[in-house]
């Protein structure tokens, strides 16, 4: 198949980092440097130039990266088709998922997929919804699973799973109300929320706007980058947070967190399977079908 050195070059070119490329390919940084030097020797062309601690593509490198993108896609499809002839499905899939999904939704289905197709390698990247959408548009992942309500025109969205966001706090929170609160009461509670660009924050913002409440009306004391960081923060503060039911099931069952009902407010969302419009890749299509079937959506 395609010379591995071209795969190394493409990884460095996308990340503009030898270190990140090494992590992505599961090889050492000296090995990355060796492969790049060998490729430059074969092509008799410098592919990268250094500016201080940063690296950039040379003109030759910019030309090569465009070709590599196309050739790697063909190489991936070839590996898949030849594997089918041998009744052996193999290849690699790059999956991107927003933070909550990567931590709580995908691990069981990825484990089931690995049991079914052990020769397919899966590389999972996580970040907020906006970041995952950008990776897909740039061609740096094959499929994404995100939360939120935004829809990019370049992407195709399909509902994978339903979820609900609920208001919770730690059991020792002395500010916790003893009964259901109103939306007006919500404005006075100290809240910790996800960062802008997060699908979770976007869904909360959208749901509150439907009730004529702006996020600027809320008493937001902190913005954090993951459900785990928010849960840890709640355990050491008298704050409240809207979190996915999936992320707090264990804490609610164990009595560590308390659920706070908000009258006339139910925040639901869909986890969306996203692909680049016009993308045709049989390996990723098979993976998408597996995901959809796993969660009983056709």
Picking from 83, 106, 123, the residue at the C-terminal end of a domain is 83
CATH number for the domain spanning 14: value is: 1.10.10.10
Question: Would you state the torsion angle of the CA atoms of residues 140, 294, 110, 79, taken in this order, to the nearest 10 degrees?
Answer: -60
Q: CA-CA distance, 145 to 153, in Å (whole number)?
A: 16
Is residue 230 domain-resident? yes
Is residue 151 domain-resident? no
Is residue 58 domain-resident? yes
- pLDDT confidence band for 285 (50 / 70 / 90): confident
Is residue 111 domain-resident? no
Token reading at 285: 């299509």
Is residue 237 domain-resident? yes
Tell me which of 52 and 181 has the higher pLDDT: 181
Q: What percent of the chain has pLDDT over 70?
A: 93
CATH number for the domain spanning 194: value is: 3.40.190.290
Number of domains present in the structure of the chain: 2
User: Looking at the structure, do residues 75 and 171 belong to the same domain, yes or no?
Assistant: no
Model pLDDT, residue 282: 79
Picking from 55, 83, 111, the residue at the C-terminal end of a domain is 83
Is residue 181 domain-resident? yes
For 168-200, write each residue's pLDDT tens digit: 999 999 999 988 999 999 999 999 999 887 888
Model pLDDT, residue 74: 76
What is the DSSP code string of 78-91?
HHHHHHHHTT---E
Is residue 102 domain-resident? no
Q: CA-CA distance, 140 to 24, in Å (whole number)?
A: 12
Model pLDDT, residue 2: 66
User: Looking at the structure, do residues 265 and 168 belong to the same domain, yes or no?
Assistant: yes
Tell me which of 280 and 210 has the higher pLDDT: 210
Is residue 154 domain-resident? no
Model pLDDT, residue 298: 42
For 84-133, write each residue's pLDDT tens digit: 655 566 778 899 998 889 999 999 999 999 998 888 889 899 988 889 99
Mean pLDDT, the chain, whole residue set:
88
Domain that holds residue 193: 163-269
Residue 212, pLDDT > 90, answer yes
279-285 contacts: CB < 8 A, separation 24 or more? Answer: 279/142, 281/73, 281/76, 281/77, 281/142, 282/77, 282/80, 282/81, 283/76, 283/77, 283/80, 283/89, 283/91, 283/93, 283/120, 283/142, 284/93, 284/142, 284/143
């Amino acid at each position: 198949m395609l010379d591995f050195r071209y795969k190394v070059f493409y990884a460095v070119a996308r990340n503009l980092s030898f270190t990140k490329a090494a992590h992505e390919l599961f090889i050492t940084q000296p090995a990355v440097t060796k492969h790049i030097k060998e490729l430059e020797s074969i092509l008799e062309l410098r592919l990268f130039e250094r500016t201080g601690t940063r690296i950039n593509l040379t003109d030759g490198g910019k030309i090569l990266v465009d070709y590599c993108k196309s050739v790697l896609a063909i190489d991936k499809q070839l590996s898949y088709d030849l594997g089918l002839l041998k009744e052996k499905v193999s290849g690699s899939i790059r999956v991107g998922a927003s933070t909550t999904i990567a931590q709580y939704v995908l691990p069981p289905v990825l484990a089931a997929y690995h049991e079914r197709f052990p020769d397919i390698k899966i590389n999972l990247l996580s970040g907020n919804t906006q970041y995952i959408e950008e990776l897909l548009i740039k061609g740096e992942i094959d499929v994404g699973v995100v939360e939120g309500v935004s829809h990019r025109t370049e992407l195709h969205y399909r509902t994978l799973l339903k979820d609900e966001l609920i208001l919770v706090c730690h059991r020792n929170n002395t500010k916790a109300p003893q009964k259901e609160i109103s939306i007006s009461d919500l404005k006075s509670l100290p809240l910790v929320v996800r960062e802008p660009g997060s699908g979770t924050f976007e869904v909360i913002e959208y749901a509150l706007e439907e009730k004529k409440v702006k996020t600027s009306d809320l008493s937001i004391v902190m913005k954090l980058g993951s459900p785990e960081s928010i849960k840890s923060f709640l355990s050491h503060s008298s704050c409240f947070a809207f979190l996915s039911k999936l992320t707090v099931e264990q804490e609610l069952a164990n009595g560590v967190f308390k659920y706070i009902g908000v009258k006339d407010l139910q925040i639901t969302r869909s986890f969306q399977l996203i692909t680049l419009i016009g993308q045709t890749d049989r390996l990723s299509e098979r993976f998408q079908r597996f995901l959809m079937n796993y969660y009983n959506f056709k």
